[in-house]
Structure formats: structure tokens, C-alpha cells
Amino acid sequence: MNAYDVVVIGSGPGGYVGAIRCAQLGMKTALIERYNALGGTCLNVGCIPSKALLDSSEHYHQAVHTFGEHGIDLKSAPKVNLTQMIKRKQDVVDQTVGGIQFLMKKNKIDVYHGHGSFVDKNTVQIAKEDGILEKITGKNIIIATGSKPAGLPFISIDKKRIITSTEALKLTEVPKHMVVIGGGVIGLELGSVYARLGAKVSVVEFMDSIIPTMDRTMGKELQKSLKKLGFEFYLSHKVKEVTAKGKSVTVKADNNKGEELVLDADYCLVAVGRKPYTDNLGLEKAGVKIDERGRVEVDAHLQTNISGIYAIGDVVKGAMLAHKAEEEGTFVAEVIAGQKPHINYNLIPGVVYTWPEVASVGYTEEQLKENGTPYKAGSFPFKASGRARASMDTDGLVKVLAHKDTDEILGVHMIGPRCADMIAEAVVAMEFRASAEDIARISHAHPTFTESFREAALDATAKRAIHI
């Protein structure tokens, strides 16, 4: 039986990053992955493929809708070749997954393919594709088994017409009408892909706002932009029935006044969240506890109730984000090595890769009100930015929330062009506990989208934005 310092179960961004950090710190490390491809949800059916399709569909949308105004005449109207689009997405995934295989070799990490399950607190059995069972031991074990799509008890997901994000990443036709249940990140990103390619997209959301956990201004602004793309929104609607017959799907929901909504479509994407994945993991054999929502319970060191067994990423509490899983992978490796790492969960940014992009870090305005924190708000609309006008991307704004007395930045929320990348400046500023005035005094290259962050900071610190 092979023996390791650390055995990691699951090769997503939590697991593979944790394994690399363990190896860097001199520990003999094994990584177990039930699929042939490494990289988990993120690389195979999550972040990377969805961004590949978002980019392709945005190119098409721009070609159809804005090239003319830019003075680019196409000989004939552009056409969607969905087969090629999906193939390119898969090429991107394959290359990225190949990169992880390379990194495992480079770091001398032993990779086992097969379903891992605990035999006891130090032993994991791997059930391989060919039926062979192999056992390995670890002084420490990291559970990084991730998550899978959640459903609703009354919906039977047939994966043909009633689908999850996984199927939505490989459709063979552009839907005529796609109903999306859930106005969260997945629903709006994948809804955007197909809306840009010509589908009618209707979003049915339980709450009274889309992306309801983000700062409310973001949901309001994003809804305006997506409406221009042809999205229809049914907020405050509770879905009660979804049925598929042949090539059609019917979705029924009630609004908060008890009125019934009936939508007929050819596809229904169920995007109501994800749930931790611990199926057949044998947690009970190691004595590891889960909480009422099926998440592996961990303490402040991400250690479970069993000494030497840790858990990270989507399978534990907190935001289900790849970069959060990565932070936790590194954190646990360093804890095992006897170091004293730290994660500031409040400064893990959240991004929605629609167009305009939405990006956020720190407290929302609603949270500050609820906590009774005295704050001041500043904002700057992209329509006042020369750079945004040059690229015809004038939707959205940057909002900076700072402490009323100390001027420390407490939250930054932006919706607009390239906000996914722009938010990094806000994260750095907040990590170093910058004030709004600090940002206002830093030179920002002109013309860039980042000037809008400076202007919003100027507005927050002393209501002295220059260009509004």
C-alpha cells in the first residue's frame, strides 16, 4: 500500500492547488480524481467552458449589432456555427486540463484515477474504471470533492430539454426560447450566451431582484442591460411545475400575488444553486461530520472534527467560487506544514461574466445599513468615461462605499466593461486598508476604464468627482 504525507480527494481548483502547495512544501502527495480529466467542475464544466462560450457569443453579438456603427461592413450577415463554437470551447478545456496534468508531473504528485472513499481515517480506497480497487494511506487527507447542480424536488432533470449548466455547455442547437429558473450567476451567464446567439431567454427568479446576494444596485443595472439584449424577467416568482413533452417544456410559476405564469419553451435551464458532493465518500467510516446542508463541517483551520482530515472548496461553507477553493487549498497545505496562513473571506471578489460584467468586493450597501455602519457612497457612471464611449460600452457604473468617519473603503461594486479585471485594484486597496482618498490620489492611466474607479472614489471621499 502506497503511503503519503497528504492524500487529496478531488482535482478541482481546490484539490489541485492544494496538492501543488503540499508538494512545494516538501510533502509526499497523492491526488485522486474519479474522472479521467483533471481540473474538476471549474475546468471541465464550469468557469473555463462557460467563459469560452461567453467570449465566442459576445464576438458574434458585436459582429451583428455594433460592427456597422464601428464602420466595419461585412459582406453578408454573420452566421452562428454552434458546432464549431462548442468544439473551440472543448479545445480550450482540453488544453487547460492538459496543463494540470503537466503541473502534477512537474511537482511529482502521484495521480490516481477512480472514485475515492474512506476506509478509515488514514486510508482511502480508489475504485478504478477497470474494477480494480487500490488502497493508499495519508497522514493527512484533504477532502476537495466539490459540488454538483442542485435541483428542485418536483423537477425531473432529463438532461435533454430540462437541463443543468453541464448540458447547457454543449447544446447542439440554439434554443428558440430558453426558460432559465434562477436569476443567479449561472442563469445569467449561460442565458447571455444563448440570448446573444438569438434565443429568447426568460428568467424566472424567486427573489425580487436578479443576482440578489450582490449589492442591489448591481442587479438593477444588470437587469436594464440584459433587457436590451432581449431577456425577459419574471421576478418574485416561485416555480411550481416543469414538464417536458417531446421537444417542448412548460414551466409554471406563481408570483407573490398568487397569479399563475405559464411559459412554453424548447429548453429549460435549472440554475438554482449547487450542492456539496460527498456521494459514496465513506465519510461515516472516518467519522467525519456534515452539517444540515450536507457540507463537510470544518473549523477555522479547515480541519474536520477528525484530526488530520481537512476539507476545502465547494464541499464546505462559503462562496462556491474557484478562487475561494484555491485560497483554501493553499491555506490547508500551509496549516499542515505548520505555518500560520490567513484568508480574508470578506475580500474574496465575486464576478458575473455577463456583458456588462459585474464585480464586487467587501460589504454591500444593504449589509452596511443592516450592521449600522456609518458610510458614505460615491459613484461614477461609465457613460461619463471617454474610454467607455470610445468602445461603445457605456452601460453601468462604479460604486465605492467608504466609512463615514475614517474614509476606509468598505465595499466596491462595479458593473460595466472589463470590471472582472478592474475589481483587482479594489481588492488590493482594501487588503491594504486604503481610504477612498488614497485611490483618488493615485494616478490612473488615461483613457482607461479604471479611471472610473478613481472618479467614484473621489465622489465617495469628498463629492469631488471631476467628470460628473
Minimum gap (Å) between residue 169 Cβ and ligand FAD: 7
- Is residue 376 within 8 A of residue 437, CB to CB? The reply is no
Whole-number minimum distance, CB 402 to ligand FAD, in Å?
26
Residues whose CB falls within 8 Å of the CB of residue 191, separated by 6 or more in sequence, listed in order: 178, 180, 201, 203, 226, 231, 269
What residues form DSSP beta bridges with 142? Answer: 8, 310
CB of 160 to ligand FAD, least distance (A): 18
Decide whether 205 or 455 has the Cβ nearer to ligand NAD.
205
In the complex with ligand FAD, the residue whose CB is nearer, 62 or 125, is: 125
Dist. CA 188–CA 238, nearest whole Å: 18
Residue 452 binds which of ligand FAD, ligand NAD, none (CB < 5-8 A, kind-dependent): none
Count of residues touching ligand FAD (by CB under 6 A): 37
User: DSSP 3-state assignment of 385?
Assistant: coil
Taken in order 208, 209, 215, 217, the sign of the CA dihedral is negative
Distance CA 211, CA 186 (A): 10
Active site residue 323: no
165 makes contact with ligand FAD (CB under 6 A): yes
**Interaction partner, residue 381 (ligand FAD, ligand NAD, none; CB < 5-8 Å by kind):** none
Instruction: CB nearer to ligand NAD: give 298 or 320.
Output: 320
Non-local CB neighbours of 451 within 8 Å, separated by 6+ positions:
385, 387, 444, 445
Which contiguous run of DSSP H or E holds residue 55?
helix 47-65
Chain residues binding ligand NAD by CB under 6 A are 152, 181-187, 189, 204-207, 212, 238-239, 271-274, 319-321, 351-353
Which of ligand FAD, ligand NAD, none interacts with 13 (beta carbon under 5 to 8 A by kind)? ligand FAD
Among 314, 334, 425, 451, binds ligand FAD (CB under 6 A): 314
Q: Does 10 bind ligand FAD (CB under 6 A)?
A: yes
Does 186 engage in binding with ligand FAD (CB under 6 A)?
Answer: yes
What are the grid coordinates assigned to 186, written together?
449561472
Q: Which residues contact 260 (CB under 8 A, 6 or more apart)?
A: 252, 253, 254
SS3 state of residue 74: coil
What character string, x for contact with ligand FAD (CB under 6 A) and - otherwise, covers 19-58?
A: -------------xxxx----xxx---xx--x--------
CB of residue 245 vs ligand FAD: minimum separation in angstroms? 27
In contact, 30 and 73? CB cutoff 8 Å: no
- Residue 263 CB, shortest distance to ligand NAD, in Å, is 12
Name the minimum Å distance from CB 464 to ligand NAD: 34
Instruction: From the candidates 115, 403, 444, 446, give the one annotated as an active-site residue.
Output: 446
* Cβ–Cβ under 8 Å, residues 109 and 19: yes
> 33, 19 in Cβ contact below 8 A?
no
What is the grid cell recorded at 422? 478592474
Please choose which of ligand FAD, ligand NAD, none residue 458 contacts, taking the beta carbon within 5 to 8 angstroms, the exact cut-off set by kind: none
Beta strands in 35-109 (DSSP E): none
> Which positions touch ligand FAD (CB under 6 A)?
9-15, 32-35, 40-42, 46-47, 50, 115-117, 144-147, 165, 186, 277, 281, 313-315, 320-323, 325, 353
Active-site positions read 446
